[in-house]
Amino acid sequence: MQKAYSNKKIIFTLIAPGLLMFVFAILAPICLSVYYGFTDFSGLGAYQFIGFNNYKELFGDRNFWMSLRNSLLLAIGFICIQHPLAIITAALLDRMGKRAEGFFRTVYFLPNVISVAVIAYMWKFIYNPNFGLLNKMASALGFSGKTNWLGSGMAIWSVLIVLIWHGFGWGMLIYYTGIKNIDPVLYEAAAIDGADNKQTFLKITFPLMMPVIKINVTLAIISALKQMETVYLLTNGGPGNETQFLANYLYKQAFSSFRYGYGNSISVIFVIVCILATQVLNKIFPKEE
């Protein structure tokens, strides 16, 4: 039996297809990015090696820091707005009884199954100054209704709202599952001891949810770093670079400003930032089994 389990040929055939795809689509491109990151390639024609110049420029690039700041803002938005609301909703939902729970869960998660392309353009219309939903609602409430939601100064908040809105159902669902996994005996015991709803939530639900909260916070920070699609369609980083995110910025540099080499150096830093963030978060929130 040992022999069958250490047959090199079989192991090779089991590993090779997946590994090849991984190397071809992820590992090799990243190595190529490192290579192009040291050049001034425009995307066409000849190029030269310029050493670390791209990286030097990048660390002095306002838009690079702006992208990181926006990721940070988004992460804070997720953690301080989306997640508390999601936890409260999940805790309330837990008490509603089967039918209502199924209904609300379905509704909350619905935006997540709709393509980001549709979501982004829908919100672009919601923010539209002429026929957008928001301005119509504002004027119905007696305001001027002429706000330029995607204009300078406002745009980043409008982008954050879309992303917080879109991810709400996903976060809620995970918290809801976490709450469902809490042993009901604990609630019964609390009820016998005369605990009220608030006490039950703070003393039982919340502490027992900590592992799930840690997972969700990690996911939120990573997805804030990786944000691209919605921003690309909603503002493409504009006005100026106010709503820029790393992924969008590298894409813009390569395909709109024809600075393919510089774009690749951003890619490399982007990968490093994501790996570092994941490692740091795993250190802060070690997985308990």
Partner 1 sequence: MEKKRHFTPGKIVMWIILAVFAVIQIFPLIWLVNHSLANNNEMFTSGILVMPETIRWDNYVTAFVDGHFLLYLRNSLLVNILAVVLVLLFSVMMAFACTRMHWKLSGVVMGLILMGMMIPIHATLLPNYIIYDKLRLTDTLWALLIPYVAFSLPQGLFLTSGFMRSIPKEIEEAAVIDGCGIYRVIGVIIFPMLKTSLVTVAIMTFLNNWNEFMMAMTYLSSPTWKTLPFSVLEFTGIYASNYAVQFAVMALTAAPMVIVYLCLSKYITEGVAMGAVKG
Binders of partner 1 among 99-118, rule CB under 8 A? 100, 102, 104-118
Judged by CB under 8 A, the chain residues 40 through 69 that form the site for partner 1 are none
Shortest approach of partner 1 to residue 108 CB, angstroms?
5
- Asked if 189 interacts with partner 1 (CB under 8 A), we say no
Smallest gap from Cβ 105 to partner 1, in A, equals 6
Residue 278 touching partner 1 (CB under 8 A): yes
The footprint of partner 1 on this chain (CB under 8 A) covers a number of residues equal to 98
Residue 263 is a binding residue for partner 1 (CB under 8 A): yes
CB 54 to partner 1: min, Å? 13
CA distance 174 to 155: 29
Cα–Cα distance for residue pair 280/124, rounded to 1 Å: 35
Using DSSP's 3-state secondary structure scheme, residue 259 falls into: coil
C-alpha triplet 253, 78, 272: angle, nearest 5°? 40
Residues 232-261, one symbol each (x = binds partner 1 by CB under 8 A, - = not), give xx------------xx--xx--xx----x-
Distance CA 131, CA 116 (A): 21
Angle at 264 (CA atoms; ends 268, 150), nearest 5 degrees? 95
* Interatomic CA distance for residues 262 and 257, integer angstroms: 10
- Is the Cβ of residue 51 or residue 102 nearer to partner 1 in the bound state? 102
Q: State the nearest-atom distance from the C-beta of 106 to partner 1, in Å.
A: 5
* 270 binding partner 1? (CB under 8 A): yes
CB of 238 to partner 1, least distance (A): 16
Binding residue for partner 1 (CB under 8 A) from 130, 153, 198, 286? 130
Residue in 50, 136, 147, 236 binding partner 1, rule: CB under 8 A: 136
Min separation Cβ 121 and partner 1, Å: 6
d(CA 159, CA 234): 8
Q: Which residues of 128-147 are buried (b: 16+ CB within 10 A; e: fewer)?
A: beeebebbeebeeeeeeeeb
Kindly write down the DSSP assignment for every residue of 206-250, as one continuous string: HHHHHHHHHHHHHHHHHHHHH--HHHHHHTTT-STTTT--HHHHH
Nearer to partner 1, 8 or 193 (CB): 8
Angle at 200 between CA 194 and CA 206, to 5 degrees: 165
Q: Show the beta-strand stretches assigned E in 41-122.
A: none
Q: Binders of partner 1 among 147-176, rule CB under 8 A?
A: 165, 168-170, 173-174, 176
Nearer to partner 1 among residue 242 and residue 263 (C-beta)? 263
Contact range with partner 1 by CB under 8 A, out of 29-37, 73-81, 149-157, 185-193: 29-37
CB 116 within 8 A of CB 257: no
Nearer to partner 1, 29 or 51 (CB): 29
Does the footprint of partner 1 cover residue 202 (CB under 8 A)? Answer: no
Cα 29 to Cα 27: distance, rounded to the nearest angstrom: 6
> Which member of 229, 236, 239, 285 binds partner 1 (CB under 8 A)?
229
122 scored as a contact of partner 1 (CB under 8 A): yes
